[in-house]
Structure 1
Amino acid sequence: MNELSPWKVLLVDDEPGVHEVSRLILAGLTFEGRGIELLSAASAGQACELLARHTDVALALLDVVMESDDAGVRLVQHIRGARRDGDMQIVLRTGQPGMAPEGDLMREQEINGYVLKTEVTAQRLHSIVIGGLRAYRHVRSLRGEALEPEAARARSAADEALAQELAALDARAALVLQARPELALARHGCVGVEMLPRWRTSAGLLTAERVLALAPGSATLARLMRELVAQALGWMRAWARDGELASVSIPLASQALVEASLRQVLLDALDADRRQAGPLPGVLDLLVDEAQLRGEDPALRAAGLSLTLVDFGTGGLLLPRPGGAKPDRLKLPPRFVTGAARDPERSAQARSLIALSQTLGLCAIADGIASDEELQFFRWEGCELGQGELFGPACAPEALSLRRPRSGGAGAAGLH
């Protein structure tokens, strides 16, 4: 097994939507510093072909009923018998429990888990995958196969050194800002921007996601966040002086939802800005993921901030937690947007997500619009906002204008 490669997880299910949603849910998930490579098969036969090419699958999530009523059970027998693989963790998933009773399967088959599809929320899927990988690693370690090589330890040391470098960064000098426009699809008007911050380090430019993954500590995050918020507020007020109102969406500061110390830093920065320059002329928006939606937001709401869920499919939206934050906007990821005008399956998925956002009272943002055809599709379906390469690449904030273009195609909207 290549220790530096991602963990391999095999998903076998004859429902295409299960693969799409599972891939979205597991995107970005890591265990012990390694990501997840999801191998997809629509039948037991396809799964056998994949297993012949991938001998290091750590976890298999198998549907029971596929090309036959017992296809999943026969695949288990193939893995444990013909392949003689006793290490792979196997979890059966079924939407028809009457055809495959849990008690019978757990007694008669060498499986490690059994769940109903209706019970598999995003958080539950995360738990199943992490638990399966942990068990797989434990089994391999008992047989003397090390899964934490020197290279992995060296990588951890490099990350620690990079986290220390972040702690010493000049937050202003190291910050590199670009922005992407958000357009109102009904009128082609640029109504807001999404800030794309990067920080200069010896390892190159780090994204907000990479910074958070390094876990540099609250004090470091507070310094980086404070400067990022100051820049966002500065651009918002500059646009307002030109008679343009905007929303400005930023990452990183969303950690304030789950860390009280960062929440206070953000509130203090907003309060200081208001005392100096008056009420906000637009909306400061935080780009949040499902995990952060479990945090508290009353104080941030009172300060006038909004929240945009950017990783739809991880469970927080569909299963809101009591006392947790609720987003104002739902961003449809590019996988549901690009090609939706021509692909019937993707069209259906996009329509469902837009309808869901409308039912929940959220503003929908289609991220990944690449053609006039896709622009028309999402406009007709009632999606309020859009982003994507059709509207131009990310650029320096000063190159953006929020005025509606007087002429020209959609690709010119919002840009000088």
Structure 2
Amino acid sequence: MLLVDDEPAVHEMSRLILAGLSFEGREVELLSADSAAQARDLLARHADIALALLDVVMETDDAGIALVQHIRVQRRDIDMQIVLRTGQPGVAPEGDIMSRYEINGYFLKTEITAQRLHSIVISALRGYRNARSLRGHSGLAGRAAAPPPHEPARLALAAELAGLDERDAVLMQAQPEVALASNQAIGIELVPHWKTSLGLLPAARVGAAWSDGATRMRIVEFMLGQACFWGRAWQGGQGRPLTVSIPLVGEALGDCATLDAVLRSTRASGLPPGTLDLLVSEAALLGETVGIREAVAAVRAAGVSLTLVDFGAQTISLQRLNHLVPDRLKIHRLFVRGVVHAPERMALARSLIALSQTLSIISVADGVSTDAEAQFFKWEGCDIGQGDALAPACAPADVVDFLRHGRRASH
């Protein structure tokens, strides 16, 4: 098992508590790392780690979260049991973390007694054993092979997605975006959730699971169709255009068929330039995908904008960002929620806003949950905010009514 924490006392105490621990007749080896970067090195050298106990806040406020994504996405390891421990619950609220990330547990450090730590470890090792058994592996000993590229869980979800009809399978919500200087709604983000046997799945989970071109293009066409339909409806009801942001499409922008679909939909919609906005991850926008620069240039020429999502939560190269500048940067909610009560988070938020201003990029604060947070980002010069404190998510059909009556409070 791997323990990742920047507090030496945590390592010492954990080793003392877990000394001599065995599972099904095998001794448990404890590896230690005092940073996410060191943990990545250990993960590269040990492919048979069954359990990772991760601190959330280390070299950065979200170092533990980024490490979870490294394990699940970059390493494609779905068997390893991941348990987060934190001494600062306000930085990463349990509800957000459990729903958004593939982890197996979340605990406050103050909650974990010696007996509780034993129980967490034994339970996690059982979960790892069962996961490996289901995948045709035997036991926990030895160095496991690298996770296969088409794991059964992802293939099963991909097969289910291939058989779905988005018209019946997608629950769509609309999240207004509010200009902080004027308190006017200037954009809407479409937020889809797919109804599957695993429950309601967000776009990020669906995008990680699609494996065949036909499913990808069907979903791309569906999202583009929804954006154009609702964009026309909202413009007609309000008498002015709104930016309509959609996920998933931008992730496949380097694909020629996706690029063609975006350009075709934009021309056919008759919507003003600047209406359609594609939410794009750092990996898709700043990666090494062949043709991404040409694709970005083509969609921009057609009046489509790009928003880099989760800004600040990933390791980003400013040199690469400067070479392919997005139109908007969405500041991750980790740096938004509770910002007025955390000086370190406040400083980071100010830095992200300043960077966007330096690059002449529109900044968007995601997850604004209180009036105080909205006021802070307005004062600091952030352009746009979205979240319950500004405008709660609603059904797309209710957006016109929201636009007519405005938001509940003024900052």
For the superposition of Structure 1 and Structure 2, which TM-score range results when normalised by the shorter chain? 0.5 to 0.7
Q: In structure 1, what is the equivalent of residue 278 of structure 2?
A: 286
**Seq. identity, %:** 40
Distance 1:341 1:220, change over 3 A: same
Give the Å deviation of 1:166. 1.4
Q: In structure 1, what is the equivalent of residue 178 of structure 2?
A: 183
Give the Å deviation of 1:244. 2.5
Within the candidate set 1, 6, 9, 1:45 is matched to: 9
2:3–2:11 CA contact under 8 A, matched in 1: no
1:163 & 1:407 partners in 2: Cα distance?
Answer: 39
2:273–2:303 CA contact under 8 A, matched in 1: no
The letter for the 1-side match of 2:367 is G
Q: In structure 2, what is the equivalent of residue 298 of structure 1?
A: 297
2:254 & 2:328 partners in 1: Cα distance?
Answer: 19
Q: In structure 1, what is the equivalent of residue 107 of structure 2?
A: none
Give the Å deviation of 1:380. 0.5
For the pair 1:10 / 2:4, whether they are aligned, the reply is yes
1:322 & 1:351 partners in 2: Cα distance?
Answer: 19
1:167–1:216 CA contact under 8 A, matched in 2: no
1:232 & 1:130 partners in 2: Cα distance?
Answer: 30
- Post-superposition Cα deviations, 1:50-87, rounded to whole Å, max 9, x if no partner, equal 44567878764437xxxxxxxx9xxxxxxxxxxxx9x9
Give the Å deviation of 1:290. 0.9
For the pair 1:241 / 2:233, whether they are aligned, the reply is no
Q: After alignment, is 337-346 or 45-54 more displaced? A: 45-54
Q: In structure 2, what is the equivalent of residue 150 of structure 1?
A: 133
1:341 & 1:329 partners in 2: Cα distance?
Answer: 23
Distance 1:333 1:292, change over 3 A: same
2:273–2:304 CA contact under 8 A, matched in 1: no
The letter for the 1-side match of 2:384 is L
Give the Å deviation of 1:191. 0.5
For the pair 1:389 / 2:384, whether they are aligned, the reply is no
Higher Rg? 1
Give the Å deviation of 1:368. 1.8
Give the Å deviation of 1:178. 0.4
State the superposition RMSD in angstroms. Answer: 3.9
Give the secondary structure class of the aligned counterpart of 2:307.
strand
Q: In structure 2, what is the equivalent of residue 347 of structure 1?
A: 346
Give the Å deviation of 1:185. 0.6
1:309 & 1:197 partners in 2: Cα distance?
Answer: 18
Give the Å deviation of 1:240. 1.5
- Post-superposition Cα deviations, 1:324-345, rounded to whole Å, max 9, x if no partner, equal x431111111111111122212
Q: In structure 2, what is the equivalent of residue 409 of structure 1?
A: 409
1:371-382 superposed matches below 5 A: 371-382=370-381
Q: In structure 2, what is the equivalent of residue 361 of structure 1?
A: 360
Within the candidate set 241, 252, 257, 2:253 is matched to: 257
Q: After alignment, is 239-248 or 259-268 more displaced? A: 259-268
The letter for the 1-side match of 2:245 is S
Distance 1:381 1:281, change over 3 A: same
The letter for the 2-side match of 1:314 is Q
The letter for the 1-side match of 2:244 is V
Give the secondary structure class of the aligned counterpart of 2:174.
strand
1:390–1:410 CA contact under 8 A, matched in 2: no
Give the secondary structure class of the aligned counterpart of 1:183.
strand
Give the secondary structure class of the aligned counterpart of 2:381.
coil
Give the Å deviation of 1:381. 0.5
Q: 5+ unaligned residues in a row in structure 1: which ranges? A: 2-7, 13-42, 64-71, 73-84, 89-116, 137-144, 412-416
Give the secondary structure class of the aligned counterpart of 1:341.
helix
2:241–2:272 CA contact under 8 A, matched in 1: no
Give the secondary structure class of the aligned counterpart of 1:327.
coil
1:356 & 1:263 partners in 2: Cα distance?
Answer: 29
The letter for the 2-side match of 1:255 is E
Q: 5+ unaligned residues in a row in structure 2: which ranges? A: 22-27, 39-45, 50-59, 81-127, 138-149
1:227 & 1:394 partners in 2: Cα distance?
Answer: 20
Distance 1:341 1:153, change over 3 A: farther
Give the Å deviation of 1:361. 1.4
1:244–1:403 CA contact under 8 A, matched in 2: no
Give the Å deviation of 1:347. 1.1
The letter for the 2-side match of 1:399 is D
